[in-house]
Amino acid sequence: MEKVRLGISTCLLGEPVRYDGGHRLDRFLTDTLGRYVEYMPVCPEAECGFGIPRESMHLEGDPQAPTLVTSRTKRDVTDQLLSWAHKRVKELERENLCGFIFKSNSPSSGMERVKIFGRDGMPRKIGTGIFAGVFMKYFPLIPVEEDGRLHDPVLRESFIERIFVLKRWREMIGQGGKIGSLVEFHSRHKLLIMAHSARHGASLGKLVAGAKTIQEQELREQYQSLLMEALKLRSTLKKNTNVLQHLMGYFKKELSADEKQELLEVIDHYHRGDFPLIVPITLINHYVRKYEQPYLKGQYYLNPHPVELQLRNHV
C-alpha cells in the first residue's frame, strides 16, 4: 500500500533544528505512525533563514495578526517568516499531503493555544503559530494536529482516520473520479460517516444521488468539504452503538440465537464503556467473513486504518 504523505514539524522527527540546536523527537510519530506514512518535514524558522542555533522568539500584539519578535534583541521578524510561508505553502501543494502534524506551543508551528504577549507583558494562550496559520488558511480541508494532542487516544484516532480517508479520496479522484467511483466511495464510507454524523451522511447521500445534475468540479468540492466536516465531528459511544446495531441488522437471517445474543451483549458492554470498540468490531468482522457479506466486507468502518496502530483499543 502506498504510504500516506504527511507534513510534519521537522524537530518532531529528531532533527536538531530548534533555536537551541535541540529537537523534540516523538517516538510514536517516528516508530509507530512512521511505518504507514511518509513525512515531508518543514521547519519554518530554519528554512526561512533564521539559522541554527538562533535567538528564541515569541508572538506579541493582536491575536488576529500577531508579530513574531526575537526575545532578547526585540527584532520584528514577522515579514521574513510570513513571506517565506506564503511561498512554502505553494510548494507544498505539489506534495499531495493528506495531513500535517505541528509542534505545539511554537510561535511558528503551533496550531492553537500558542502564547501571545499583550501590552501588559502578560502571555495569553490564544494564538496560532505564523506558519501553521498560513498553512491552515491555504489548505482548509487538510486534517491537522499537534504532537501533544495526538497522545489523546480519541484525537489520535480521529486524525489518523481522516488522513486515511483523504488518501482514499485523492486516489479515487486521481483515477478519474467519475460518478460511478464517487458512488462506490460514498457507499464504502457510509457507516464511517454515520459514526460521526448521521445528518452529514444524509446530506452526502443526497449530493451523490443528484450527482448528474451538478458540474463535476463543484460536486467534488462540495462532497470533500462536507466529508471532512463530518469526520471532524466526534464519534461517540452512542453514535458507534447505533452503527453497530445497524450492522447487526445485516445478519438477521444468518446469526443463530446464541450468536445474536453474544453480539448484543458485546455491543451493550461497549455502550456501557466496559469494552473498547475493537471488541464488537472484531466479532462483526468475524461474522462478515463467516457469512460472506459483500457489502459489509467493503465498509471502511470495519477497517478504517491499519489494525496494528491499535487505535480502537481504548475504553
Binding site for ligand SF4 (CB under 6 A): 9-11, 17-18, 43-46, 103, 106, 108-109
Of 10 and 158, CB closest to ligand SF4: 10
Which SS3 state, helix, strand or coil, does residue 61 take?
Answer: coil
Of 103 and 312, CB closest to ligand SF4: 103
Of 26 and 157, CB closest to ligand SF4: 26
DSSP category for residue 127: E
Phi-psi category of residue 176: left, alpha or beta, with phi > 0 → left and psi -120 to 50 → alpha: left
Instruction: Give all strands of the β-sheet with 114-117 in edge-to-edge order.
Output: 67-70, 57-60, 114-117, 123-127
The C-alpha cell 504527511 sits at: 6
Of 71 and 225, CB closest to ligand SF4: 71
Minimum Å gap between C-beta 109 and ligand SF4 is 3
Minimum Å gap between C-beta 50 and ligand SF4 is 8
**Cα–Cα separations (whole angstroms), residue 104 to 33, 148, 193, 194, 272:** 18, 7, 29, 31, 34
Q: Which residues, 6+ apart, have CB-to-CB distance to 271 below 8 Å?
A: 237, 238, 241
Minimum Å gap between C-beta 143 and ligand SF4 is 18
Which of 111, 77, 107 has the alpha carbon at shortest distance from 8? Answer: 111
d(CA 59, CA 127): 8
Minimum Å gap between C-beta 207 and ligand SF4 is 38
Of 101 and 182, CB closest to ligand SF4: 101
Minimum Å gap between C-beta 35 and ligand SF4 is 22
